[in-house]
Chain A
Amino acid sequence: MKILIVGGGTGGSIVANNLARQLSGKIRDGEVDITMLSASDKHMYQPGLLYVAFGEMMPDELYRDQASLLESSINFQVDPVEQFKLDENWVKTQSGKTYDYDILVIATGSRVMPNKTPGLDEGAHSFYTEKGAVELFKSLREFEGGKLAIVVGVPHKCPIAPVEFTFALDQYFKDRGIRDKVEIKYHYPINRIHSIENVAKWAKPEFDKMGIEYETLFNVEEVDVENKIVKSMEGSEYQYDMLVSIPEHHGMGVIEDNDLGQNGWIPTDRYKLTMNGHDNVYVIGDTTNLPVSKTGSAAHFEAESVATNIASIIKIGTPVTEYDGKVMCFIEAGHEATYAMFDYLNPPDLKTPNKSMHWLKMSYNQMYWTSVRGLL
């Protein structure tokens, strides 16, 4: 039985490690083979980029060698997939090799698309890449006052990020003693300040307390880089001194190029996590088109469910569990934090932020490596 995992991010790594543990006997006996194909030999802890943007983490702290995170029984290859032949159960990679499989797991993730909006790439900072986060930090350090605008494109990875970033900005300028010289304005594309209703209800009074202005129904149409004006499709505009964007995301190019899903999001069964029309193809993490957050947390819980089911199908011929839409997100709010936990049926119920939750998040930033090894 050949299991092929495409993508070495959070979801791909957890599913591979969990399978290697659950099927260790069969791997030893040569009945099961697990191969992972990844685009990189490095693994990045992406939520750490938010801390890099405020000088609280250094970029090198976010990386580990991918091979060091995987069970030794996993055949790990740095060779990105370029072609999927789902009807014939094989893929072709950049090096020209083909890999056939009995079970395929697609966990290729997502990418930012700032160039979809005129002027956004040139005119706005973003912390979704290492380079962007470092440049944003340098600009924030030089910022002595003025109008700072935050704009949000949808869909985007980590739905809590715009709110977290805004809270962190408020705290950063307070710590520097120049909060009264900075006008922070938050723009959001729908008619409330966050897509998750209870997060919006919770964040609004927090914004009011911090003196953060907000405008909803603001979908960025273009950025006039020369005059520093961001314009919305709804007709309003805002003149800024510094602009930070949470750019729109798409799935990876290889998914779009192979027509596996519109904008790179693969149509996925919300409970079984199989690709629609392909029972031996599983999709996890950002790559799905599911109505759940595109976060490491969702990828983690999905990976556990998929690994359990693949292992049980191999052992007893049937899946034993279903993904219930569970997501758990920490929300940093200055030097305090809270969390949002929700699933397909239950919306999040946010508690007042406190120091202990902030430390739990700090701890998780380190414990992530234990989690991705399949231990937590």
Chain B
Amino acid sequence: MRRGCRAAPPGTDLVAATEIVAVTTSSNLANRLDSIVGTGHVRAPTNSEARAADTIVEPGSVEEICELVRMCEADRIALAPMGAARSLAVIRPSPVALGISMARLARIVAYEPDDMTIVAESGITVGALNTAMGSARQRLPVDPCNPSVTTLGSLVCAAHSGPLRLSEGTSRDLLIGVRFVGHGGNLVHGGGRVVKNVAGYDLMKLMGGSFGTLGIVTEVTFKVRPVPAEYWVAVIPCARAADAFAAARIVNDALPLSNLDILSPSFARRFNSTLQFLLLAGFSGSPLEIGYQAERIRDLVGPRGEILDDEAALRSYGLLRDLDFRSAPLAAQIAVPLAHLGRALEACGDDIEFRAHAGSGVAQILLADEPSAERAVKTVARWREAAHSARGTLRLLAATPAIRDSLEVFDTPNAGALSLMRRLKAAFDPAGIFNPGCFVGGI
């Protein structure tokens, strides 16, 4: 039998749905896909995409996506939007029948530097977007790992963020408009192009972190920010994690930092740290502000560590941003109230490596060596327990195929919230075709 995912809402006859999928993913389907997106835009998945989807289409217009959705609804074919397919590969228990690649929808639609807003199709990468804004000295300050491969669609729908979330927020704070193809193949928009807007329900928030389960985001509008005149970073080695968290708290209380991150030993070594843990406190502003902050940090943390300026600071920031958790055999993101982060990481066990956004209460953690399925289950259970006992949550970022099936990617929301989420899913996706069966509570 094919691995094609069953596309059926809870309660419907799954066997029947599978049969439909099996029938339609034949040459008949290939022909129909060709007729919608044009020959040459339907292909087999690459190796890295194979865990995400069985067949990939690359539509060249929003109208083609609308038509694909209508076709899939009629025939109950599961589909999912994808950028580089990295998030899908982790969250999907089995590949979806049809991956909708946004690669050909990657244009900047409108950019007005004086308004500090930008409208772009969801297939463009964060890196390409920021390159385009470089001459105006502006940027979208959301900084996932490897921005040159992270598409805006993925940034929003898979809720990626990075060290700058401390000072600039996440895509949740900066997304001011969205267009998506919803059920019925209808193009829907929420928000607009202005930085402040409360007309109608906030569909941007619904799409954020929805992992393609409510529709296919085709266009996003962001508030953007000026690139600071200068960026420096204080690099402070600490013998123990607790020392690093204590120092982080002191500087965070005293200064409006750009980022504040703590690295565990194996990551710290990449920064040539001689001690176990490393605290990186980034700060920015005008030359006067920079000089003042550098001095304050020296006062606050004493003589340990050094302050990197200009190129060296940017190099170390790049290294910090691009620490890759999604290539690890097992990795997760933990989020707890900020003061509990140190303790929660300690409770995760001494076999982890981590990058902690110490000013935000969010950290990425990983196991360096591939665990057995049994150890993976135990490890993730311990991580979840650590997160939950600090009133936080945990989400898997990576798991090898061998262990993925025995693990839950998402936490389960409380019963009341989950029941509303199921109703939301049923309302936005009555045919159950949008990336089904892989989100919270099996949505």
Please say whether chains A and B are actual partners in one complex: no
A-to-B contact residues, CB < 8 Å: none
